[in-house]
Amino acid sequence: MRKLQSFIIGVVAIILLLTFVVVRLNHSSNAGSKVLNIYNWGDYIDPDLIKQFEKEYGYKVNYETFDSNEAMEAKIKQGGTAYDIAIPSEYMIQKMKKEKLLLPLDHTKIHGLENIDSRFLDLDFDKNNQYSIPYFWGTLGIVYNDKFVSGDKIKHWEDLWRPELKNNIMLIDGAREVMGLSLTTLGYSINSKKMPQLNQAINKLSSLTPNVKAIVADEIKMYMANEESAVAVTFSGEAADMMAENKHLHYVIPPEGSNLWFDNIVIPKTSKNKTGAYDFINFMLKPENAKQNAEYIGYSTPNKKALAMLPNSISSDKQFYPDDETISHLEVYKDLGPKYLGIYNDLYLEFKMYRK
């Protein structure tokens, strides 16, 4: 009898232990489902929007940043962190699709896509927006300080070669950007895969070296705001930040052509909280949130309803919201493939080493 009682007690104890374990596992699973892992560029969202999203939807957001598309891609490919949201650029979206690093979007779960300007939907790098939702867009151009150089002398890429700009130009540190501006001055595509054209471009860049004071990244904003150089080549959003700090700075999009870039929201294959990912996408598609984000970041919003809510001083500024004629001369970066991406990087490194 005692053996039977002991057996029953043992069974009950095991059941209670298993019940406890199941409850704990369920609790952990539910807690995990309320965590959203976001991988984004540095300083690329208003922190107040993160807090607002957490409050409205009950999620805990883990926010990590990257400094290049390639670094972001490598980390997602490694799969160490289960990112639910990432924000790559157009050519990288094209590449990540080929590598099967992205989940296709269920458009029945997306609300507010109609708020996006149709010009920024169904683009070549992601037809029918199967994998991505527009976040910000912008251009590559020239910033100049009117205290040191007249605006009528800085209108085209070719103007960077002016002798009077010796040791007075800062370049954004990017192979596609620097090679692209040289290709454009020669009348070629920024996505050229023709070696004679690429060799011409690097030869032309070699003659620019006397004018190049530095090749820098994020610190270019501080240098230009502090008037440490007369001219810089940078992105429109960076230009907006500089101009907010120094009234003598102006931004120019060369009419012969430049880069038109897009950063879009995607759901990586690593996602473990797809519900949260769609909640975040829908949250950022709301016009009032897109407006707030655009004002904080300074880049151009693709959300037409948000644009209508922005102050006229911003929405009518053709430096950052260029007209269709200007846009028609701009090109989007395409995925060059490993071979030509390597060639661009090698030629760019040659340029950087030559100027030393």
| pLDDT surpasses 90 at 348 | yes
Give the integer Cα–Cα distance in Å for 249 and 111: 39
Q: Quick one: pLDDT at residue 255?
A: 94
**From 53-62, 210-219, 299-308, the region with the lowest mean pLDDT:** 210-219
The predicted model scores a pTM of 0.83
Q: Quick one: pLDDT at residue 31?
A: 43
Is 44 in contact with 64 (CB distance < 8 Å)?
no
Looking at every residue in the chain, the average pLDDT score rounds to 91
**Domain locations along the chain:** 1-33, 34-136+264-321, 138-260+329-354
Q: How many CB atoms lie within 10 A of CB 50?
A: 16
Look at residues 46, 50, 72, 47 and name the one whose alpha carbon lies nearest to residue 60. 50
pLDDT above 70 as % of the chain: 90
Query: What mean pLDDT comes out for the span 315-327?
Result: 91
Q: Quick one: pLDDT at residue 109?
A: 98
Q: Which CATH architecture has domain 34-136+264-321?
A: 3-Layer(aba) Sandwich (3.40)
Residue with tokens 């192979």: 175
Confidence of residue 316 (pLDDT cuts 50, 70, 90): very high
Q: Quick one: pLDDT at residue 217?
A: 85
| pLDDT surpasses 50 at 248 | yes
Confidence of residue 237 (pLDDT cuts 50, 70, 90): confident
Q: Based on DSSP, count helices (H) and strands (E) in the chain, helices before strands.
A: 14, 10
| pLDDT surpasses 70 at 17 | no
| pLDDT surpasses 80 at 354 | no
3 state SS of 42: coil
34-136+264-321 and 138-260+329-354 have identical folds: yes
Give the integer Cα–Cα distance in Å for 250 and 87: 28
What does the pLDDT look like over 156-192, one tens digit per residue? Answer: 999 999 999 999 999 999 999 999 999 999 999 999 9
Span 138-260+329-354: which CATH code? Answer: 3.40.190.10
Q: Quick one: pLDDT at residue 32?
A: 46
Dihedral pair phi/psi, residue 263, rounded to 5°: -115, 130
Angle at alpha carbon of residue 101, lines to 289 and 56, rounded to 5°: 25
Query: What mean pLDDT comes out for the span 188-197?
Result: 98
What amino acid is encoded at 278 in this protein?
Y
Residue with tokens 């016009």: 287
| pLDDT surpasses 70 at 28 | no
Q: Quick one: pLDDT at residue 16?
A: 52
What does the pLDDT look like over 80-107, one tens digit per residue? Answer: 899 999 999 999 999 999 999 999 999 9
Residue with tokens 């007690």: 9
Give the integer Cα–Cα distance in Å for 194 and 42: 34
